[in-house]
Amino acid sequence: MRFEIAAGNNIHTVTIARKGAVLHVAIGDRTVIVDARRVGEMAWSLLVAPEGSAEPVQGVDAALAAHRTAGDFDVHLAGRTIPVQVRLAGGFGRQKKAGAAAGTGPQRITAPMPGKIARVLVTAGDEVKARQGLVVVEAMKMENELRAARDGRVREVSVVEGQSVDAGAILLVVE
């Protein structure tokens, strides 16, 4: 089975196959032998063979948390939180094209976390400059101002002050 997995600034091509009691995980030109045991719905006890060894003995206690986007996870291990995105082979290629297309289109300002609209600073039709504040989302007693990425004109404001929004909700569109 073949995946493309993005982590940090890298996209790794990963091939994984079961060989007897262990898994062979090929990352780039290196193949890692892994003894994987599920210890929870989203938790794994992995024993990984160190480089140059076939004995899976390095302990990796890993747990995952799923994001809304299928295949996106936070991987928790060694007290660290590492965001990864898993796609079937070729998945990022398709996505990147879609992303690139979107990059040149209108800016969709979305809520970075669930919260309440504290203030709307613009109205439809306003001309805005890059870095200009557009809307303030409040969560956990902190106000977070969202700004325009580049110059443009407000096409649509989808929220009103006092409204609750989910993470990812489109708040307004600048074109």
Partner 1 sequence: MKKILIANRGEIAVRVIRACRDMGIDTVAIYSECDRAALHVRLADEAWPVGPSAPRESYLRIDTIIDVAKKSGADGVHPGYGFLAENHDFAAACRGAGLVFIGPSPEAITLMGSKTAARQAAIKAGVPVVPGTEEPLNEQTSDAEVLAVAERIGYPLMLKAVAGGGGKGMRMVAMAAELPAALRAARSEALSAFGDGAVYLERRILAPRHIEVQLLGDHYGTVLPFVERECSIQRRHQKVVEESPSLSVSPELRRRMTSAAAAVARTVGYTNAGTIEFLLDADGSFYFLEMNTRLQVEHPVTEMVTGVDLVQWQIRIARGERLDLIPESLLVPRAHAIECRIYAEDPDNGFLPSPGRIQGLRVPQGPGVRDDSGAYEGGEVPIFYDPMISKLITWGETRDHAIARMKRALAEYQVRGIRTTIPFFQWLLEDEDFKAARFDTTFIDRKMGTPGSGPLQAIAAAHEELAVIAAAVHMFARSPATVAASSAPVSRWQQAGREEALR
- Ranges within 29-58 binding partner 1 (CB under 8 A): 32, 34-48, 55, 57-58
Asked whether position 74 contacts partner 1 by CB under 8 A, the answer is yes
Q: 10 Å Cβ neighbour count for 36?
A: 19
Asked whether position 70 contacts partner 1 by CB under 8 A, the answer is yes
- Convert the chain into a string of H (helix), E (strand) and C (coil): CEEEEEECCEEEEEEEEEECCEEEEEECCEEEEEEEEEEECCEEEEEECCCCCCCCCEEEEEEEEECCCCCEEEEEECCEEEEEEEEECCHHHHHHHHHHHHHHCCEEEECCCCEEEEEECCCCCCEECCCCEEEEEEECCEEEEEECCCCEEEEEECCCCCCEECCCCEEEEEC
Q: Which is nearer to partner 1, 59 or 125 (CB)?
A: 59
Asked whether position 149 contacts partner 1 by CB under 8 A, the answer is no
- Which of 54, 81, 101, 103 touches partner 1 (CB under 8 A)? 81
Asked whether position 64 contacts partner 1 by CB under 8 A, the answer is yes
- Which of 100, 147, 159, 167 touches partner 1 (CB under 8 A)? 167
Q: How far is the CB of 152 from partner 1 (least distance, A)?
A: 23
- Which of 27, 124, 149, 170 touches partner 1 (CB under 8 A)? 27
Asked whether position 112 contacts partner 1 by CB under 8 A, the answer is yes
Interacting residues with partner 1 between 123 and 142 (CB under 8 A): 139-142
* Candidate segments 84-92, 99-107, 122-130, 152-160, binder of partner 1 by CB under 8 A: 84-92
Sort strands 142-147 and 133-139 into parallel, antiparallel or unpaired. Answer: antiparallel
